[in-house]
């Protein structure tokens, strides 16, 4: 999952070709076959270009790699490594911080992200770390609450919480209608207290969907699915406290190594080539030049040189904004693509990774304090208070701006969250793949920080609080005069990263999500990425499996009902199509 900065797509931008650029023709795939080669028996293989090597692009490539006799595939991404925003960063002082790296842009996910973990664990052999999801929202008796123990704020909104449980089932019953109603309007329709939405519900959804300061515009049906849908559920509803106990989350292993292994996996059958640091900047579809060269798609890409290639099919696994620019630089988008892709809005957020405990204490409730306890004397509440006193370790934290609590900043305690701080190997505890067999790390680093092995320390213990690694996310650069970023001590900052973040405005659910079917398929073009629905790692993967499936690829997890449930739902929504007869049970499945 990608709270706030949980980007999942590899990017590919656009640009002009310099006059000095050279042009080269199609390159061999792994030195074994060219894109124009034929399968055994003389049948021509479909030549496929995948733009973007994030979770979407790599998932599409994996699906197509399972049919080496039918597809020849190249995956291009302008970034130097595969993974999109799923990156890892080398820490400057591993002995001090208790680990040698962090996962930077993507942290982890709910256990119900079945396709994600099927890919990570069963296919690639990596293992994620189980962690208890403890959250800290607000600061002060009037605004603080947590899922670990009942606070005064939870008791204040007890009637709203009970009503919300009933409302969820109403939304589920009339989901097609509520799919078009944003959550802020839904809260007004059912006459919830404004403070309940701003202090409890909206921050909760923002944290786990990565919708940031656009959360109030998210579809009410999406919010319902957070609680009720078996493929998207992040937590269990409780009439007593909104969230039931401490849900289980999974923290990812080292993503730079995992994506290296993913790249190696998709290339092993010889029909896929993944090339990073190569930017696709122009695409021509259905033009005479493309047809004369024997294909439907003519693509131009570059590093230092310019490469011109023809393909039969195109999968755009980059963000909508980049896809539109690439098409505009070439033969141009269709009017439908202009409407649907142009409707996706982006904002810029910045993530500051730091070690400033004083800053965290000022803006967040970091430790348990009995003064926040609700006035309850029942046994269950007493157990919760006792548990919190001994075990409260919040890893997700939210700060609401007092001048408008619907706008937020958020932080993670990465030391509590990520498995390497517990001494786990970069491939994860109990992984099928051995660390020495995994690809070498391609971590980002400043000042050439050397890669070390802090996790191999036999006496490893989690460092004290003042040595923790925190990550604070400041949302929407248009609101930077609201940010508290300048309060972080400069000498405590480890790194800063800007993210191009999809905006989940109401217009997204009215003008993009319902019309993806209209642009998937025409001009031999398919679209993939979490932006096609909502910012979830699982959606990024399912969208790419759907794109590959639409051109004849295999859905690799068809025998796993938990995985297939969301895939079929997404495929039907984005392409108005059922899966093929061999992949379903019964006519209506």
331-385, pLDDT tens digit by residue? 999 999 999 999 999 989 999 999 999 999 999 999 999 999 999 888 988 999 9
* Cβ atoms of 112 and 536 closer than 8 Å: no
State residue 222's pLDDT score: 80
Residue 33: pLDDT band by 50, 70, 90 thresholds? Answer: very low
Helix (H) / strand (E) containing 328 = helix 320-329
Each residue's pLDDT tens digit, 174-230: 988 998 888 899 999 999 998 898 888 888 877 766 666 777 888 888 888 878 877
Each residue's pLDDT tens digit, 94-110: 989 999 999 998 999 88
Question: What's the rounded Cα separation, in Å, for the pair 238 and 223?
Answer: 15
State residue 522's pLDDT score: 98
Handedness of CA 310, 314, 316, 317 (dihedral sign): negative
Each residue's pLDDT tens digit, 262-287: 999 999 999 999 999 999 999 999 99
- Does some domain include residue 65? yes
* Cβ atoms of 211 and 139 closer than 8 Å: no
Question: What's the rounded Cα separation, in Å, for the pair 507 and 344?
Answer: 8
What is the mean pLDDT of the segment spanning 541-558? 98
Using alpha carbons, list the distances in angstroms from residue 209 to 118, 479, 530, 534: 21, 20, 11, 7
Residue 460: pLDDT band by 50, 70, 90 thresholds? Answer: low
Question: What's the rounded Cα separation, in Å, for the pair 178 and 522?
Answer: 30
- Does some domain include residue 579? yes
Each residue's pLDDT tens digit, 225-262: 878 877 777 677 888 788 777 888 999 999 999 999 99
Contact partners, residue 565, CB within 8 Å, separation at least 6: 114, 230, 231
Question: Is residue 498 packed enough to be buried (19+ CB in 10 Å), middle (13-18) or exposed (0-12)?
Answer: exposed
pTM of the model: 0.90
Q: How far apart are the first and last CA of the chain?
A: 27
Q: What total number of domains does the chain contain? A: 1
Decide which of 448 and 519 is more confident.
Answer: 519
User: Is the pLDDT confidence value at 541 over 70?
Assistant: yes
Q: How much of the chain, in percent, has pLDDT values that exceed 90? A: 66
Q: Which domain holds residue 287?
A: 23-84+255-345+505-583
- Does some domain include residue 49? yes
Question: What's the rounded Cα separation, in Å, for the pair 354 and 50?
Answer: 36
What secondary structure, in 3-state letters, does 422-479 show?
A: HCCCCCCCCCCCCHHHCCCCCCECCCCCCCCCHHHCCCCCCCCHHHCCEEEEECCHHH
User: Is the pLDDT confidence value at 7 over 50?
Assistant: no
Which residue is it, tokens 């706030």? 4
- Does some domain include residue 553? yes
The CATH number of the domain where 38 resides is what? 3.50.50.60
Three-state DSSP state, 371: helix
- Does some domain include residue 487? no
Computed over every residue of the chain, the mean pLDDT equals: 87
Question: Is residue 246 packed enough to be buried (19+ CB in 10 Å), middle (13-18) or exposed (0-12)?
Answer: buried
- Does some domain include residue 321? yes
What is the mean pLDDT of the segment spanning 439-451? 75
Handedness of CA 552, 269, 303, 535 (dihedral sign): positive
State residue 23's pLDDT score: 35
Contact partners, residue 486, CB within 8 Å, separation at least 6: none
- Does some domain include residue 234? no
Backbone angles phi, psi at 495, to 5 degrees: -160, 160
Residue 299: pLDDT band by 50, 70, 90 thresholds? Answer: very high
* Cβ atoms of 202 and 216 closer than 8 Å: yes
Residue 18: pLDDT band by 50, 70, 90 thresholds? Answer: very low
Question: What's the rounded Cα separation, in Å, for the pair 148 and 154?
Answer: 11
Which of 210, 209, 251 has its CA nearest to residue 227? 209
State residue 326's pLDDT score: 98
Question: What's the rounded Cα separation, in Å, for the pair 196 and 370?
Answer: 22
- Does some domain include residue 296? yes
């Amino acid at each position: 999952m990608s709270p706030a900065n949980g980007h999942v797509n590899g990017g590919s931008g656009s640009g002009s070709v310099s006059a000095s650029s050279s042009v080269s023709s199609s390159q061999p795939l792994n030195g074994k076959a060219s894109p124009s080669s034929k399968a055994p028996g003389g049948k021509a293989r479909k030549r496929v270009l995948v733009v973007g090597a994030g979770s979407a692009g790599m998932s599409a490539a994996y699906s197509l790699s399972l049919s080496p006799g039918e597809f020849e595939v190249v995956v291009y991404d302008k970034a130097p490594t595969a993974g999109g925003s799923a990156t890892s960063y080398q820490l400057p002082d591993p002995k001090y911080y208790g680990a040698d790296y962090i996962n930077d842009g993507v942290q982890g996910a709910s256990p119900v992200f079945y396709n994600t973990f099927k890919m990570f664990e069963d296919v690639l052999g990596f293992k994620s770390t189980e962690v208890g999801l403890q959250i800290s929202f607000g600061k002060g008796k009037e605004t603080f609450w947590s899922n670990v123990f009942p606070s005064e704020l939870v008791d204040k909104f007890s009637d709203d919480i009970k009503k919300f449980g009933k409302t969820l089932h109403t939304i589920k019953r009339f989901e097609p209608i509520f799919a078009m109603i944003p959550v802020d309007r839904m809260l007004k329709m059912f006459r919830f207290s404004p403070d309940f939405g701003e202090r409890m519900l909206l921050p909760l959804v923002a944290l786990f969907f990565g919708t940031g300061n656009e959360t109030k515009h998210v579809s009410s049906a999406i919010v319902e699915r957070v609680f009720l849908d078996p493929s998207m559920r992040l937590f269990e509803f409780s009439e007593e406290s909104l969230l039931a106990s401490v849900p289980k989350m999974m923290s990812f292993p080292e993503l730079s190594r995992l994506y290296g292994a993913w790249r190696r996996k998709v290339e092993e059958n010889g029909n896929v080539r993944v090339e990073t640091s190569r930017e696709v900047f122009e695409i021509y579809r259905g033009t005479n030049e493309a047809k004369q060269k024997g294909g439907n798609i003519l693509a131009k890409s570059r590093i230092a040189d310019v490469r011109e290639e023809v393909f039969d099919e195109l999968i755009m696994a980059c963000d909508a904004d980049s896809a539109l620019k690439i098409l505009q630089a070439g033969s141009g988008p269709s009017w439908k693509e202009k409407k649907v892709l142009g409707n996706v809005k982006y904002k810029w957020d910045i993530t500051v990774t730091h070690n400033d405990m004083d800053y965290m204490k000022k803006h967040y409730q970091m430790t348990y304090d009995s003064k926040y306890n609700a006035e309850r004397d029942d046994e269950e509440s007493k157990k919760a208070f006792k548990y919190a006193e001994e075990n409260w370790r919040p890893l997700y934290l939210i700060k609401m701006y007092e001048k408008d609590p619907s706008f937020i900043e958020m932080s993670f305690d990465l030391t509590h969250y990520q498995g390497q701080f517990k001494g786990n190997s970069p491939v994860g505890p109990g992984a099928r793949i051995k660390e020495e067999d995994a690809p070498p790390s391609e971590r980002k680093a400043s000042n050439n920080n050397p890669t070390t092995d802090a996790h191999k320390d036999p006496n490893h213990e989690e460092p004290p609080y003042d040595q923790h690694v925190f990550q604070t996310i400041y949302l929407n650069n248009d609101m930077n005069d609201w940010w508290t970023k300048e309060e972080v001590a400069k000498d405590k900052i480890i790194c800063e990263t800007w993210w191009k973040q999809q905006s989940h405005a109401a217009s997204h659910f009215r003008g993009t999500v319902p019309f993806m079917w209209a642009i998937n398929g025409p001009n031999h073009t398919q679209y993939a990425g979490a932006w096609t629905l909502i910012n979830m790692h699982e959606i990024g993967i399912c969208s790419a499996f759907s794109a590959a499936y639409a051109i004849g690829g295999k859905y690799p997890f068809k025998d796993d009902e938990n995985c297939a449930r969301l895939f079929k739902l997404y495929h039907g929504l984005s392409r108005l199509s059922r899966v093929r007869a061999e992949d379903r049970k019964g006519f209506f499945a």
